[in-house]
Structure 1
């Protein structure tokens, strides 16, 4: 089995989470400057087998697409053309940033550490991936 990679896509930064090879545990991997995401993925895929990409799907409370979806669509298109053998699945990402922030508080991180937006993005990607694993 290959790993599953999940993305919390953002215009500036993209949080990335990954499963173990048995696809049981979701862990934060890193946060990457969005402009460098494809070079990061190219290098990562040279070392690891990935069988599925999960991309967060931002939605409004009424279940319609969020404004940020317009920035995600070009990413999805390039992701599917750059890595055509790896399927992409979307997972609702509503509240993941708030849940990530709360998990930082619950784990005892100091205020200065909680201001690290890259860490919030990485934790958000992990929550997206956990949601996929829980519902698969």
Structure 2
């Protein structure tokens, strides 16, 4: 089977998570500087069988798009043109950063470790992906 990749796109850093080939388990992959994201994805997609990509859709509490929505939408267009064979699914990413931070606390990470924003981005992508998988199983 193929894998599903989740992208928590940010202006500076982008968190990535991926499923196992059976699409059961979501695992953090890495965090990449956003300026290096497309070269990273080109290499990764050549090495792995990716059938679907989840890309976070930032929304405000009232459901309207957040300020960063236009930047992410521009990335989605570029991604879709570069990888037309990969289905793109937009997912609500509200609260993923807060959940990621709470996960770090619950895991017993020190205060210094919790300040690692790259780790927060990777965990956020993993939470988005696991939530998608959980809803897909229902």
TM range (shorter): over 0.9
State the Cα distance separating 1:114 from its structure 2 match: 0.3
Instruction: Render the CA deviation track for 1:1-31: whole Å, top value 9, x for unaligned.
Output: 1000001100000000000000000000000
Whether 1:129 and 2:129 are equivalent positions in the alignment is yes
Unmatched 5+ residue regions in structure 1? none
What secondary structure does 1:55 align onto?
A: strand
Superposition pairs of residues 90-101 of structure 1, within 5 angstroms:
90-101=90-101
In the alignment, the residues of structure 1 paired with residue 55 and residue 81 of structure 2 have an alpha-carbon distance, to the nearest angstrom, of 15
Aligned equivalent of 1:57: 57
What secondary structure does 1:16 align onto?
A: strand
In the alignment, the residues of structure 2 paired with residue 131 and residue 55 of structure 1 have an alpha-carbon distance, to the nearest angstrom, of 13
State the Cα distance separating 1:70 from its structure 2 match: 1.3
In the alignment, the residues of structure 1 paired with residue 116 and residue 7 of structure 2 have an alpha-carbon distance, to the nearest angstrom, of 17
In the alignment, the residues of structure 2 paired with residue 14 and residue 40 of structure 1 have an alpha-carbon distance, to the nearest angstrom, of 11
In the alignment, the residues of structure 2 paired with residue 6 and residue 126 of structure 1 have an alpha-carbon distance, to the nearest angstrom, of 7
State the Cα distance separating 1:111 from its structure 2 match: 0.5
Question: Which shifted more, 61-70 or 116-125?
Answer: 61-70
In the alignment, the residues of structure 2 paired with residue 58 and residue 134 of structure 1 have an alpha-carbon distance, to the nearest angstrom, of 20
In the alignment, the residues of structure 2 paired with residue 64 and residue 134 of structure 1 have an alpha-carbon distance, to the nearest angstrom, of 25
TM-score (norm 2): 0.97
Unmatched 5+ residue regions in structure 2? none
Aligned equivalent of 2:105: 105
Number of equivalences? 136
TM-score (norm 1): 0.98
Aligned equivalent of 2:68: 68
What secondary structure does 1:118 align onto?
A: helix
Question: Which shifted more, 14-23 or 67-76?
Answer: 67-76
